[in-house]
Amino acid sequence: ARCQCKVAPMERKNCGYPGITAAACKKAGCCFDASVPDMPWCFSPKPKRVRKFCPTDPHNRRNCGFPGITAKQCEKKGCCFKAHPAGVPWCFYHRVVEE
């Protein structure tokens, strides 16, 4: 994403080699900006920002526990817990979306 390449020139971490082309740099998953002299032109992007949430639709839950797991045990594993409805996992993984 374009916003991942908004890195201050002094904070750029080199991601290429001398003379790398913009196409080769981007193909390697890096950002390219040749407008700042004496700074890396091919550099690592900022990490993607993600948001975790517990899915609201019980049928979209992916099991994270075992039969009889308690809320405390489930949350200790870093998962969501909701003890209803019957027939679906009560301890389940978060959903992750990129922002």
Tell the CATH topology of 50-98. Answer: Spasmolytic Protein; domain 1 (4.10.110)
- Amino acid letter for position 94: H
**Residue range 85-98, pLDDT digits in tens:** 989 999 999 998 87
- CATH number for domain 3-47, candidates 3.90.1200.10, 4.10.110.10, 1.10.357.10, 3.40.50.300: 4.10.110.10
Euclidean distance between CA atoms 69 and 81, whole angstroms: 9
d(CA 55, CA 26): 34
Who contacts 71 (Cβ-Cβ below 8 Å, separation ≥6)?
Answer: 81, 83
Pull the structure tokens for residue 68.
């009889």
Res 1: pLDDT? 57
Residue span(s) of the chain under CATH 4.10.110.10 come to 3-47, 50-98
Strand partners, 94: none
Tens digit of each residue's pLDDT (9 = 90 or more) over 25-65: 999 999 999 999 999 999 999 888 788 899 989 988 999 99
